[in-house]
Amino acid sequence: MGYLVRRLEFFLVTLWAALTLNFILPRLLPGGPEVALRTRFHGRVSPGTIKSLEVALGIHTQQGQLQQYLEYLGNLLHGDLGVSLGFYPERVTQVIMVALPWTLGLVGMATVIAFVLGTLIGIFGAWRRGGLLDSVLPPVFVVISAFPYFWVGLICILLFSITLGWFPQAFGSSSEVTSELSLPYVLDVLWHSILPAFTIVLTSIGGWILTMRNNMITTLAEDYIRMARAKGLSPTRIMFQYAARNAILPNLVGFAMSLGFVISGALLVEIVFNYPGLGTFLLQAVNNEDFSLMQGLFLLITVAVLLAVVAADFLTAWLDPRTRERA
């Protein structure tokens, strides 16, 4: 029980910290929403117009900070993230709902691919110690994982889009294809996702390979594996049912957690590929000084990570009883 209480405490404190940070950050900016409004309309607009717009946007410049903070927390309880300055009159939640599917689709898929592929390579690499997979891949991926992944994206664009012309350079889909759920549209979306997804997989797969391989190696040295071999079980069976099944725990936990990072994980890739996901929106919000949208996105990202971390914690506790004892 102590373990659960501690995790709950962690969850609540982190959530509160994120919410508060989210509240404070925009207010540290020189100017703030009122100035943003004034410059947005070029200073030519009369003070009366500005006042009316402030009211429309729900900017309360005259309230005290504490009152604003309490109101902010209250609004969040109702799931109200406010009105976007850049997409007025859209609400922040509406804007996010437009971008979310794209990010979930692209990065979610890429994460699953990287996880499955990386784990399999790791299993085979460890099984064939000293083989090609085992001796070449780890150092190669240590190096690749040190590459700035937006730059890898740029190189991919240069090679496969500009030079070879195989894939589109930008967008989530072509403008000619309407966004109804039809086969041509789905194919078009897939077509556009290949290059950014490849970039993500390439720069993230190394982690899965290394973790899986190393755990396999440790597991393969265990007594029960020797037992199994001695009993003459088939190698495939030992590899998957005995070794991999036990060695995969850290990777599974990591996978649960990386799902939380899906939302924030590929911001720069989205930006490089002009992909209509949350990353593009976040940078746009920053550049437009669209505070409410910035806050909403940051909040969404934090909560997603937090939920994933807690999920991963419970997954560990459930799969590995030792964790509970240690705590």
Partner 1 sequence: MKRRGVVSIGLLVLVTVLAAACGSPSSSTGTPLKGGTLTIDNESGTLWNCGFNPFNGNVSFLAFGPVYEPLVYDNLLNDRKVPMLASSYKWSSDSKSLTFTIRSGVKWSDGQPFTAADVVYTFKLIKSNNALDLQSVWSVLSDVSQQGSDQVVMTFQSPAVPYFYYIANQQPIVPEHVWSKISDPVAEKNDIPVGTGPFMVKAGGCTPQNISYTRNPNYWQSGQPYLDKVNYPAFTDNDPANQYLASGQAQWGGQFIPNIDSYYVKKDKANNHYWFPPIQNVNIFLNHTVRPFDNKLVRQAIAYGVDRPKVSKIGEYGYQPPGSQTGIVIPTFNDWYDSSQAQKYSYKFDPAKAQQLLQQAGFSKGSDGIFKDASGKRLSFTIYSISGYTDWTASLQVVQDNLKQAGIEIKEQDLSHDDYFNHLFVGDFQMAYGSLSTSPGPNPYYELRNTLYSQTSAPIGQTAAGDYGRWTDAQTDKLIERFGATTDSAEQHSLMKQIEGIMLEQVPVIPVTESVAWYQYSTKGFAGWPTPSDPYAAPAPWNIPDWEQVMLRVHKT
Partner 2 sequence: MGLDVRLVAEQPAIATEAARPERGALHIVAGAMRSNRKALVGGVILAAFVVIAVIPGLLAPYDPHAQIFEQTLGPSREHLLGTTGNGQDIFSQLIWGTRESLAIAVVAGLMATVLALLVGVSAAYLGGLSDHLLSLLTDVFLVIPTLPLMIVVAAYARSGGLAVLIAVIVITGWSYGARQLRSQALSLRNRDFLDAARMRGERTVYVIAFEILPTMTSLIVANFLGAALYAVLAAAGLQFIGLGNPSDMSWGTMLFWAQNNGALNAGSPLWAVVPGLCIAMLGAAFALLNYAFDEITNPALRPKPRRAIEPSSRSSKFAT
How far from the centroid of its chain's Cα atoms is residue 183's Cα? Answer: 27
Binding flags for partner 1, 214-253, as an x/- string (CB under 8 A): ----------------------------------------
Question: How many Å apart are CA 171 and CA 164, to the nearest integer?
Answer: 18
Tell me the CA distances in angstroms from 288 to 155, 208, 265, 282, 284, one per residue in order.
Answer: 28, 37, 22, 10, 6
Among 284, 292, 295, 302, binds partner 1 (CB under 8 A): 284
Q: Are 94 and 296 in contact (CB under 8 A)?
A: no
**116 is a site residue for partner 2 (CB under 8 A):** no
**52 is a site residue for partner 1 (CB under 8 A):** yes
Which of residues 132 and 181 has its CB atom nearest to partner 2 in the complex? 132
Among 4, 5, 8, 21, binds partner 2 (CB under 8 A): 21
**10 is a site residue for partner 2 (CB under 8 A):** yes
**271 is a site residue for partner 1 (CB under 8 A):** yes
Q: What is the DSSP letter of 178?
A: -
Which of residues 20 and 178 has its CB atom nearest to partner 1 in the complex? 178
Nearest approach, Cβ of residue 228 and partner 2 (Å)? 20
Nearest approach, Cβ of residue 237 and partner 2 (Å)? 24
**177 is a site residue for partner 2 (CB under 8 A):** no
Q: Are 104 and 262 in contact (CB under 8 A)?
A: yes
Alpha carbon dihedral 193, 194, 195, 196, in 10-degree steps, equals 40
**64 is a site residue for partner 1 (CB under 8 A):** no
In the chain the first and final C-alpha atoms are separated, in Å, by 10
The helix/strand/coil state of 309 is helix
Q: Are 278 and 96 in contact (CB under 8 A)?
A: yes
**280 is a site residue for partner 2 (CB under 8 A):** no
Cα-flanking dihedrals φ and ψ of residue 91, to 5°?
-85, 155
**258 is a site residue for partner 2 (CB under 8 A):** yes
Q: What are the strands, taking DSSP E only, across 137-284?
A: none
**283 is a site residue for partner 1 (CB under 8 A):** yes
Which of residues 56 and 221 has its CB atom nearest to partner 2 in the complex? 221
Among 22, 81, 82, 87, binds partner 1 (CB under 8 A): 87
The helix/strand/coil state of 91 is strand
Q: Residue 35 binds what, of partner 2, partner 1, none (CB under 5 to 8 Å, by partner type)? A: partner 1
Question: How many Å apart are CA 123 and CA 48, to the nearest integer?
Answer: 68
Residue indicated by tokens 């590459």: 147
Question: How many Å apart are CA 130 and CA 69, to the nearest integer?
Answer: 59
Which of residues 276 and 296 has its CB atom nearest to partner 1 in the complex? 276
**193 is a site residue for partner 2 (CB under 8 A):** no
**100 is a site residue for partner 1 (CB under 8 A):** no
Q: Residue 210 binds what, of partner 1, partner 2, none (CB under 5 to 8 Å, by partner type)? A: partner 2
The helix/strand/coil state of 83 is strand
Among 267, 275, 280, 284, binds partner 2 (CB under 8 A): 267
Tokens of 287: 């550049």
The residues of the shown chain that bind partner 1, judged by CB under 8 A, are 29-31, 35-36, 38-46, 48-49, 52-53, 56, 86-90, 95, 98-99, 161-162, 169-173, 175-176, 178-179, 271, 273-274, 276, 280-281, 283-284, 287-289
